[in-house]
Structure 1
Amino acid sequence: MNKLLISLLVSIGLTGVAHAAGDAAAGQAKTAVCTACHSTDGNSVVGNFPKLAGQGEKYLLKQLNDIKSGARMVPEMTGLLTNLSDQDLADIAAYYASKNVTLGQTAEDQVELGQRIWRAGIAEKGVAACTACHSPTGQGIDSAAYPALSGQHAQYVESTLNKFSKGERNNDPAAMMRDIASKLSTEEMKAVSQYVQGLH
């Protein structure tokens, strides 16, 4: 059932949504306020702030719109997007998508379990492999607005999984990530979060 749902959502994403029409050069000038948390090139140096560099343009635009509308609550960003137009958001998304993400390292003691979950999921819990939506190398599927995770801070990924598992974050299509995260143990969340930090 999980595989069928994922296939359906990917198909809808591939055919049903137009690609964001952002201008990366214009976007650079609009990111001044973003640099405090996400750095100039989108490679945040603080683990609880996500890296935006190399993220899919469509995914970034969806998150920006969700944060602006209140569909996704990010207290640190309250009011920051209020006066930005749709074009401004598209330009910012294009700018960060044009940058290269810097990779981290996976803690050695987390590689085996993290890799197993990433590549194969956890069949006995009904958890699909992460590769189904985020690709084997963690590049995501931007046409479906599924995020790239390669190089993302483990701290941020683990925090996000926890928020999905508790329903504190709920802007995922068809509650897909809420369903998956709710089935993961604390140990499993930590392992897969560490794994993506060094994945490339």
Structure 2
Amino acid sequence: MAVEDIGAQRVGNGNPGIGKQQADAGRCLECHGADGNSIDAKTPNHAGQYAAYLAKQLSDFQSGARKHEIMTIMAEDLSAADKADIGAYFASRKIMQGEGGDVNQSGRNLFANGDRSRDIPACSGCHGENGKGGIAGDVVYPVIGGQRKVYLRSQLVSWNLGERKNSPGGVMNTIAKSLSDEEIEALADYVSGL
């Protein structure tokens, strides 16, 4: 696939220019950053995230499939076009990058290889070798490489506990239930550095 096709697929059919205006007016940029990189460890980066993934999350906040007190309020009045445009804006930003540093070998091994003895697939199988996501059919695998460590940990814990249930077919719940606290920490550490 050509680089232009990947970029077009990442941005989708929304208008990034309109999306920037809406993200600013809707106060998205206050938490998620003007360039899509948040300054709060608990708030996810959206820089370079797939627009379709962001639009789905906003829809899930609207429907109650995903729960977050603030995001439910922020998303409640957004139309499908609004979600596509806001997603396109964040998708058009430079893809989030981790800071690298010391590599957590346990996290790296789980990310790259999974654990067949426990039916844990490699994270890279869906999220890509560098955690930069992808699209397969109608499923969007989000960018997780370079995401905030605290946010990654909190989401893995939420899937592990069944508090978050909006991944396709519940795949993230199944995987996260098999992870120990130490493995969740190792994965969050490794993936945040990508």
TM-superposition CA deviations, 1:78-129 (whole Å, max 9, x none): 3212222110110000000000134233563x61101100000012221000
Equivalence for 2:4 = none
Identity of aligned residues (%): 38
Question: Residues 170-189 of structure 1: matches in 2 within 5 Å?
Answer: 170-189=165-184
Contiguous gaps of at least 5 residues in structure 1: 1-18
Residue in structure 1 matching 2:190, options 176, 189, 195: 195
Cα distance in 2 for residues equivalent to 1:84 and 1:102: 25
Cα distance in 1 for residues equivalent to 2:105 and 2:174: 23
**Paired residues of 1:41 and 1:99 also in contact (CA < 8 A):** yes
RMSD: 1.5
Residue in structure 2 matching 1:86, options 74, 80, 94: 80
Cα distance in 2 for residues equivalent to 1:71 and 1:40: 27
Equivalence for 2:163 = 168
Q: Does 1:30 align with 2:25?
A: no
Question: Residues 1-200 of structure 1: matches in 2 within 5 Å?
Answer: 20-32=12-24, 33-106=27-100, 108=102, 111-143=104-136, 144-199=139-194
Cα distance in 2 for residues equivalent to 1:163 and 1:82: 22
Whose RCO is larger (CA < 8 A, sep 6+)? 1
One-letter amino acid matched to 1:135: G
**Paired residues of 1:59 and 1:142 also in contact (CA < 8 A):** no
**Paired residues of 2:36 and 2:46 also in contact (CA < 8 A):** yes
One-letter amino acid matched to 2:48: G
SS in 2 for 1:145: strand
One-letter amino acid matched to 2:168: P
**How many corresponding residue pairs?**
180
SS in 2 for 1:61: helix
Cα distance in 2 for residues equivalent to 1:107 and 1:46: 20
**Paired residues of 2:107 and 2:183 also in contact (CA < 8 A):** yes
Alignment TM-score, normalising by the size of structure 1: 0.85
One-letter amino acid matched to 2:71: M
Equivalence for 1:9 = none
**Paired residues of 1:138 and 1:149 also in contact (CA < 8 A):** yes
One-letter amino acid matched to 1:91: D
TM-superposition CA deviations, 1:46-88 (whole Å, max 9, x none): 1110001111111111111111221111112132122221101
**Paired residues of 1:62 and 1:145 also in contact (CA < 8 A):** no
Contiguous gaps of at least 5 residues in structure 2: 1-10
